[in-house]
Structure 1
Amino acid sequence: MRANLVAKLSQEHKASKVRIFNQALSWQTATSTAEGEGWLAYRLPVSTQRFTQGTLTVKGLENPQVYVNGQLVNSADKVELELVNGDYQLMLLADGLQKDEPFSLDWQGKSDVDELDFSAQQTQRVSAEQLFDSKVISNLTLSPNGKYLLQSTIEYQAAQGDKPIQVTELRKLPDNSVLYRWQESRPSSAVWSDDSKQLAFVANKQIQLFNVADLSIDIAATELDNVSGLQWFGDSLLFNWEKPFKADDKATSKRFQALEDRWSYWRNNSQLYQLDVASGFIRQLTDNKITSSLLDSNADKGTLLLTRSPVDYKAPAHSITQLLELNVADLSETMIGEYRSFSGALYADDGMYITADPRFMNGAGMQNPNIEVNDYDGQLYWRDDKGNVTALSKDFDPAIGSMTKLENDDLLLKVTEGDRSPLYVFDKRKKRFNRIDTGVDMVDGFSVTTKKSTPLLVVAGTSATAPQKAYSMSLNSSRKKVLFDSQKQRYADTQFGKIEDFDFTNKHGHNIDGRVYLPADFDANKKYPALVYYYGGTSPVGRHFTGRWPFNL
């Protein structure tokens, strides 16, 4: 019960009044004695400037409990504290005052430098708990008509330990109201039907169909383990069904078949299947010793694009990808090509888009064949129906990652541009790339309506000193509607230090981008120690708000 109370009081630590059983209680300045009878609550700010440890002694309280940032440290009159550099809220709950001893708090540091500052703070420095535990959007799936958004979030709470709290909600746009919520048995591999009336997904070893009109759920197929990658194909569904590799229980050793065998999942085999939604009948579309991966489908032509990756170390990049087209009617396969450099492919009206590195098709994406290129420099190519390949992004500097095809055959591209990750639209007719103003430095996730002449975009992302926000916007307008704002939820009273550019030119004449994160209370007249983080590989250090190395902390 006390834990519930402390959690509520911690959330409202700025409030001057608290309502308990419809009774308004006011916070008052603490004294050695208190008026009235019953339980007592004390709160005070605590700040440290380094790792600090020592003993907090509580006198004059009956059965005191000491909480730091809402978490119980101990139920005792002497409590050992170990605090990293940061700002905290200390709270004490007690059954009442002792009659024979006045209330007081005493701090005894382990050494002379273990000091606590109890001064009131209008803002607080960012904490590790905020950066790692705050709620963020993990997935966005927009309906083709732009009226509905399937949104998944993840967060952590101290009471739950390392177990994430994950919720998936069906929201109605543009008012962002919740129509349906899943917390247990959440949908995975969710995909909308073209008419936006049904949402197919995997849950509880089933393929389920959610009907938007009446919020009902139909079961399309059952007893399906390891199913993923749903795609609508007319009135049927395509999916990958994986068969895990089962080792010989009696074997005392394992013969490695390839370098990839160091991955525990490498011998698992996944093939493509088709589910007739009306009858529930399932048929197998591919049967191969090598996993078949679905890239795209064309229901009008009755064909699928798929890839396989046999082991082949004969030449750099010491792997090979087979691109194939499958005729769904007779299950015949046509080999389109085998490539050392390949990322993905999508059908278009009179050909297909392909993403690969600059070495694709004998270096078709290289600006200068005499200059070594970066394999991470994703390029965009066009392959016409006759097999002719054209480089589309040779003079486009950003590295192209994912691509989504729009109704008019234009593309929405997520790219890496310096230390940012924005979105671009590729105009097929004009052969031009146009950057979208998403309002964030790093796009975490996005979804776009592919069946509308004026596509609607939902995007979630962060900037170097701005936590995650999610917007909805039209592709041809910079006006945005906020759908989610972590700043207001968890960082309203948090102060961040400023960021300054720290670029320099190396001995080869190349400009190296850098940045400096200054302390929140930075004083230009003082000297500070500095942590230097650099990455010597081929990918930049992005301007993520948090992550594996949260620079704001």
Structure 2
Amino acid sequence: MKRLKSSLLFAALTMGCSIGMANDVDVKTFRYAGPFELSQPVLVDSVDAQQKAFSAESLLNTPLNLDLAQQGRVINGGKLPISSAQYALNLLQFNIQNASYCTLGVELKGLKHYQVYVDNKVVSPSSITLLPQTHSVVIKYLSQKDSIYTPSLKVTNAGDGVKVNADTRRTLTLGDIQNGLQYYRLGLSANGRFLITNYYDVKDGGYTRYMWRLTDLKTGNIMRQTDEAMSWIPGTNRFYITRKGAKGRDLIAVDPLTGQEQALASGVGEGTITLAPNGEYLILATSQEGPREDADIYEITQPEDRIPGWRTRWNLSLVDLKTGLAQPLTFGYHNVSLEDISADGRYILYMVSRSRLEKRPTTVSSLYKLDVKTMQVTCVAHDEGFLSEARFSPDASALVVKGTAEAFNSVGKNVPEGSTPNGYDYQLFLLNVANKAVTPITKTFNPSIENFSWNPRDGQIYFTALDKDMQKLFRFNPKTNKFTRFDVPEDYVTRLAFAHNAPVAVWYGESASNSDRLYTLNLDNGKSTLLEDLSKQKLKDVDLGTCTPWNFISSRGDTISGRCFLPPYFDPNKKYPMVVYYYGGCSPVSVYFESRYPLHLYAAQGYVVYLINPSGAAGFGQAHASRHVNTAGKGVAEDIIEGTKAFLQAHPYVDPKRVGCIGASYGGFMTQYLQTQTDIFAAAISHAGISDHTSYWGEGYWGYSYSEVSMANSYPWTRKDLYVDQSPLFNADKIHTPLLFLHGNADTNVPIGESIQMFTALKLLGRPTAFVVVNGENHSIVDYNKRIKWQNTIFAWFARYLQNNPSWWQALYPDKQL
């Protein structure tokens, strides 16, 4: 009897849009566009190439822009407009907004020749399967001269969660995230008047076009738009483009006002080009392949030798722009990277890195200052660990160096006794070239450094930094040792560019609830002025829920940062399911709109979303960040569990029995580990998660090197308590939560075996689980169409367990008798 009841319940769940009774919804209000007049074609023959006679109905296949329907006028039922043309196409449009995955129909009476489109795709009106979102339904019909049409239109088999309207407003979709125009790079002329903006535009299906635009900021005029890459010649008001020449690449200098072109260099070989500020030469970074092995059987010399291209080595050459002479600057088998060129062009700064596997850190680097006129080399830093990159001061007498707190003999270290700094919590240091003295700049500065530059005009250091869950813009004055945080109107400053000779910069960024916006920045008064708002067009007519900070005090006395995302059209009197999202590793989850896990999109599916940044993440100060090291989930899990319970207590509109969680990479490990520690989650998803710290340590391309951060000075043979006891695989019997594993089978960061072994363990234990493989994808799912399928898999799993609707999952992954 129980089995029969279960079968009946499952049947009820899989019918319609929700558990509620299916019903019909009359469509009385819609938008009308037309008539679009057509004439019967000249009948050259009695039949076409397929031997079919002409029929008026075939005119329905005449292409017409269906988006015109959205611009039509609103009609409240009754008679449709009459056309005096022999034939005409007409468009009716309305929206279906469904809260759940469902299958319904559109029934139309009173029209003879018509087609039904949903989201610009023609469908069979009797059975339309809809993902949970707002869908545009367009009926294209053919009218004849002076005919009167009074249609009757209804949506059939609609569940309780289905709404019909003719509004232009809608909810967020994955297409809004993937498609549209976005910024890539920026550049300002030396005088600050001209701006080069590099965009990329993504269309349905993933087609991507890159373009460059030149704008006169004084007049606002667009002076040039092209698919040719444009870059400024340093310190000048001219830009250059690169074209394929007879003997290599030709660099062409262009005057932005006149468009006049002048040869800058010709026959430049392959490699990365960096022009010198004095305009006399360029530095060319070129690669050389290392020894090749037999493709059938080959030796791996060290762990990184598994990585394709690891044996390729880079060196530098100087190309004289007058003569074309390409003078080799460095030679050898160690990798060389160009860090900077001095403002006067006299010196270059380069870094040489080498492996040192027997001691942490396993990579050490040396910094060299090279006089390009005399070829005299000065070693500024030798075999230093924990370095990232460096830049010259305007007079080249000092360097600003980015590294971790352990760089330069831990002079910038500021963590409790016995703790190890987080290797992803980056600091800045001043290094005197003459006496090698190092001064830590950010030792007591909590945000974690990202991008930085030393402005030659005012001698100050500008940088972006992770500031809790945001990325903000700062300035440091080396003379006064004073930090200034710019009051910018976005949560996340993505990229910044300066004018060489003017107090102006340009930057773009986004926030939790909007996409890219472009601004100018007055460096004297700190004021940002909006130049362009890509988000306005990208999110036109989209209704988002709110996003607000929500922090709590943990049992350890820490303030744990979080965010609350609410669904659009939120009703505090309803009970909502909730999704908890986290990373839990070395870095915070920053609140920018265009993420791989767009939380507003989850909210649009009807979930309250709780984003939590547990202890251990960079951007909250060195002490906070150091808690990631040698914990393997301890402390972090407690923060997430405590935070979830506190959130539930503070928000009665969340159903505590319908809470799910999701994380990726280290966050995927946290998903698995959490299920061994608590039963508060009704469903869980691990994407590319670590299940066994020992196997990840040895097999992932960066397993042991990431463990230099997360398990500093700890190894599988010295810390079984971390590598084994804290691994979910060795605690699989404690897991009872339905757990979905997602993994790309080309993942070289966290190999797919991490999911395979955990999935196998749960299957042997008889626990609810599923495993979905994304073919050909690496650690992140970047293929346009595969990302859609991957995202739908996530939503279907949560719908199954958090919304009591397994129909979506069954449609994607039907039961198989094997």
TM-score (normalised: structure 1) = 0.87
Q: CA deviation at 1:97?
A: 6.1
CA–CA distance in 2 between the matches of 1:478 and 1:331?
41
Bigger mean CA deviation after superposition, 31-40 or 386-395: 31-40
CA–CA distance in 1 between the matches of 2:62 and 2:435?
73
Q: How many positions carry a matched residue from both structures?
A: 527
CA contact (8 A) 1:30 1:42 kept: no
Bigger mean CA deviation after superposition, 119-128 or 223-232: 223-232
CA–CA distance in 2 between the matches of 1:46 and 1:224?
57
Bigger mean CA deviation after superposition, 112-121 or 372-381: 112-121
Q: CA deviation at 1:6?
A: 2.0
Q: CA deviation at 1:169?
A: 0.6
Q: CA deviation at 1:276?
A: 2.3
CA contact (8 A) 1:200 1:207 kept: no
CA–CA distance in 1 between the matches of 2:105 and 2:263?
59
SS at match of 1:130: helix
The residue correspondences of 1:372-387 to structure 2 (distance < 5 A) are 372-384=420-432, 385-387=434-436
Alignment match, 1:389? 438
SS at match of 2:577: coil
SS at match of 2:600: coil
Q: Does 1:129 align with 2:206?
A: no
Q: CA deviation at 1:474?
A: 0.2
CA–CA distance in 1 between the matches of 2:144 and 2:172?
35
Q: CA deviation at 1:50?
A: 0.9
Bigger mean CA deviation after superposition, 474-483 or 138-147: 474-483
Alignment match, 1:364? 411
Alignment match, 1:257? 301
CA–CA distance in 2 between the matches of 1:320 and 1:2?
66
Alignment match, 1:35? 82
Q: Deviations over 1:457-512 (max 9, x none)?
A: 21111111122211112022243332111232132322221123321222322221
Check 1:508–1:142 CA distance in 2 against 1; reply closer, same or farther (3 A cut).
Answer: same
Alignment match, 1:19? none
Give 1 or 2: higher strand fraction.
1
Alignment match, 1:240? 284
Please point out which of 51, 63, 66 is paired with 1:6: 66
Q: Amino acid of the residue matched to residue 206 of structure 1? A: R
In structure 1, stretches of 5+ residues that fail to align are 17-26
CA contact (8 A) 1:186 1:203 kept: no
Please point out which of 402, 407, 414 is paired with 2:451: 402
SS at match of 1:375: coil
The residue correspondences of 1:467-486 to structure 2 (distance < 5 A) are 467-486=515-534
Q: Percent identity?
A: 21
Q: Does 1:143 align with 2:186?
A: no
CA contact (8 A) 1:191 1:201 kept: no
Bigger mean CA deviation after superposition, 133-142 or 235-244: 235-244
Q: Amino acid of the residue matched to residue 241 of structure 1? A: A
Please point out which of 314, 325, 328 is paired with 1:270: 314
Bigger mean CA deviation after superposition, 117-126 or 391-400: 117-126
SS at match of 1:361: helix
Q: Deviations over 1:134-153 (max 9, x none)?
A: 21211111112101111011
Q: Does 1:194 align with 2:241?
A: no
CA contact (8 A) 1:97 1:103 kept: no
Q: Does 1:208 align with 2:240?
A: no
CA–CA distance in 2 between the matches of 1:138 and 1:309?
29
CA contact (8 A) 1:47 1:118 kept: yes
CA–CA distance in 2 between the matches of 1:79 and 1:226?
59
Bigger mean CA deviation after superposition, 240-249 or 30-39: 240-249
Q: CA deviation at 1:225?
A: 6.0
Q: CA deviation at 1:527?
A: 1.0
Alignment match, 2:94? 44
Q: CA deviation at 1:389?
A: 0.9
Alignment match, 1:21? none
Q: Amino acid of the residue matched to residue 450 of structure 2? A: G
CA contact (8 A) 1:52 1:114 kept: no
CA–CA distance in 1 between the matches of 2:129 and 2:438?
63
The residue correspondences of 1:12-91 to structure 2 (distance < 5 A) are 13-14=70-71, 16=73, 28-31=75-78, 34-36=81-83, 37=85, 38-59=88-109, 61=111, 64-69=114-119, 71-74=120-123, 78=125, 80-91=127-138
Alignment match, 1:418? 468
Q: Amino acid of the residue matched to residue 477 of structure 2? A: D
Bigger mean CA deviation after superposition, 474-483 or 200-209: 200-209
The residue correspondences of 1:266-345 to structure 2 (distance < 5 A) are 266-298=310-342, 300=344, 302-336=346-380, 337-345=382-390
CA–CA distance in 2 between the matches of 1:156 and 1:62?
38
CA–CA distance in 2 between the matches of 1:503 and 1:254?
53
SS at match of 1:489: helix
Q: CA deviation at 1:176?
A: 3.0
Q: CA RMSD in A?
A: 2.8
CA–CA distance in 1 between the matches of 2:209 and 2:160?
36
SS at match of 2:578: coil
Check 1:194–1:151 CA distance in 2 against 1; reply closer, same or farther (3 A cut).
Answer: same
CA contact (8 A) 2:425 2:448 kept: yes
In structure 2, stretches of 5+ residues that fail to align are 1-60, 602-818
Please point out which of 259, 262, 272 is paired with 1:228: 272
CA contact (8 A) 1:52 1:115 kept: no
Q: CA deviation at 1:394?
A: 1.0
Bigger mean CA deviation after superposition, 45-54 or 91-100: 91-100
CA–CA distance in 1 between the matches of 2:352 and 2:468?
32
Check 1:255–1:303 CA distance in 2 against 1; reply closer, same or farther (3 A cut).
Answer: same
CA–CA distance in 2 between the matches of 1:301 and 1:219?
20
Check 1:291–1:240 CA distance in 2 against 1; reply closer, same or farther (3 A cut).
Answer: farther
Q: Does 1:155 align with 2:216?
A: no
CA contact (8 A) 1:65 1:72 kept: no
CA–CA distance in 2 between the matches of 1:106 and 1:132?
32
Check 1:59–1:269 CA distance in 2 against 1; reply closer, same or farther (3 A cut).
Answer: farther
Q: CA deviation at 1:101?
A: 9.2
Q: Amino acid of the residue matched to residue 200 of structure 1? A: Y
Check 1:55–1:106 CA distance in 2 against 1; reply closer, same or farther (3 A cut).
Answer: same
CA contact (8 A) 1:286 1:331 kept: no
CA–CA distance in 2 between the matches of 1:30 and 1:225?
68
Bigger mean CA deviation after superposition, 161-170 or 239-248: 239-248
CA contact (8 A) 2:235 2:277 kept: no
Q: Amino acid of the residue matched to residue 210 of structure 1? A: A
Q: Amino acid of the residue matched to residue 538 of structure 1? A: C
CA–CA distance in 2 between the matches of 1:167 and 1:2?
33
Q: CA deviation at 1:208?
A: 2.1
Bigger mean CA deviation after superposition, 215-224 or 353-362: 215-224
Q: Amino acid of the residue matched to residue 452 of structure 2? A: M
SS at match of 1:552: helix
Check 1:206–1:176 CA distance in 2 against 1; reply closer, same or farther (3 A cut).
Answer: farther
CA–CA distance in 1 between the matches of 2:545 and 2:387?
42
Q: CA deviation at 1:224?
A: 5.0
Alignment match, 1:550? 598
Q: CA deviation at 1:356?
A: 1.0
Check 1:438–1:471 CA distance in 2 against 1; reply closer, same or farther (3 A cut).
Answer: same
Check 1:4–1:432 CA distance in 2 against 1; reply closer, same or farther (3 A cut).
Answer: farther
The residue correspondences of 1:422-461 to structure 2 (distance < 5 A) are 422-452=472-502, 455-461=503-509
Alignment match, 1:20? none
CA–CA distance in 2 between the matches of 1:60 and 1:68?
20
Q: CA deviation at 1:546?
A: 2.1
Bigger mean CA deviation after superposition, 467-476 or 368-377: 368-377
Alignment match, 1:536? 584
TM-score (normalised: structure 2) = 0.60
Q: Amino acid of the residue matched to residue 564 of structure 2? A: V
CA–CA distance in 2 between the matches of 1:30 and 1:167?
46
Bigger mean CA deviation after superposition, 349-358 or 440-449: 349-358
SS at match of 1:377: coil
